[in-house]
Homo-oligomer: A and B are copies of this chain.
Amino acid sequence: MNGKGAEKGISESSQTRILDHVKKISYMPNFSAQGLRTGKTKTICMMVEDIADPFFSSIARAMEEIAYMKGYKILYSSTENNTQKAKDLIQFYRRRQVDGYILAPPPGIEEDINELIDDNLAVVLFDRTLIGIEADNVLVDNFDISYKAVKHLIENGYRNIAMITLYSEQIQMTERERGYKEAVDEIKNTYFIKNIGFYDHPASNVQEIQRFIDLNNNIDAVFFTTNYLAEMGLEAIRNLKLRIPEDLGIVVFDDDKLFRLFSPTITAIAQPIGEISEHVIKLMLMLLSGKGVKKAKKSIVLPAILQIRESSRPKSD
């Protein structure tokens, strides 16, 4: 029944007879019992900021598919970027003895992650890392693609480029900021940066962005560092009755299926969902198989793609 009939020297006919009977009574091993005996549950948990975010839900879908083929099931949870909720979730999953942890970690859970690793549990981080943690991780080259995106605006004639971003010390965000700054530095211009709170009310954020754009009316382009900031920003721009890209060029970090259908279409940075998912699951399976546990941790950095569309087309003036 474990597929080792041949090497154990059990006759073919016995094997078929037994397997037929197993099929007939539709025997299915009890998972709790297996879990109790082996300590393995064939379950991997995945914690992201928000499972309803298109980026994370697409990743979830892709990972689910790959993991399922390997006999693993994935449990999803949304951390809401909340440190305490993430800590609680980790405890919750430990009780459930999940085999592996795939995390897009919120800030402040360094210690909890290190405990997992110390206890020899499989951990793979993605989208971001935390300082002081040695874990396998899969990242996108946030700095490089952000630099390229802003550089693209510059090459198309935009000069006073603003960045609208979160108040955040998280590495994926600081890297995006670093890319923006490096590109702006090359034209020796000043930064126009507006920070938004993650937990603030969307309506007041729209107001904030609106005021920012209005006050800095020399701005001729905006780089939004996340999709939901862009959503609020597009509303602000609409309220201000500014034309895209004539009055304001736009580039957004994270693509959306609908951006290519906007009028004008929206230039966006597309993260390689499929590749990220594949690498994460591959690293996870390697850890679960026992290989690589003692090895040096791997950090995989993938390139993202700038989807150039109309919202950043060359300035005519």
Question: Which positions in A face B, CB cutoff 8 Å?
Answer: 28-33, 35-36, 41, 50-52, 54, 57-58, 60-61, 64-65, 68, 73-78, 91-92, 94-97, 231, 234-235, 238, 256-258, 260-263
Known: A33-B36, A238-B261. 6 other contacts (CB 8 A): A51-B64, A52-B57, A60-B76, A68-B77, A73-B75, A76-B76
Contact B52 A77 (CB under 8 A): no
In the bound complex, residues from chain B placing their C-beta under 8 Å from that of A260 are 235
In the bound complex, residues from chain B placing their C-beta under 8 Å from that of A30 are 36, 95, 97
Task: Name the residue on B nearest A88 (C-beta).
Answer: B68
Contact A52 B60 (CB under 8 A): yes
Contact A91 B28 (CB under 8 A): yes
* Assembly CA distance A97 to B43 (angstroms): 13
Copies of this chain present in the complex amount to 2
Contact B96 A31 (CB under 8 A): yes
In the bound complex, residues from chain B placing their C-beta under 8 Å from that of A28 are 91, 94-95
Task: Name the residue on B nearest A257 (C-beta).
Answer: B231
Contact B54 A61 (CB under 8 A): no
The smallest beta-carbon distance between A101 and chain B, in angstroms, is: 14
* Assembly CA distance A29 to B96 (angstroms): 9
The smallest beta-carbon distance between A60 and chain B, in angstroms, is: 6
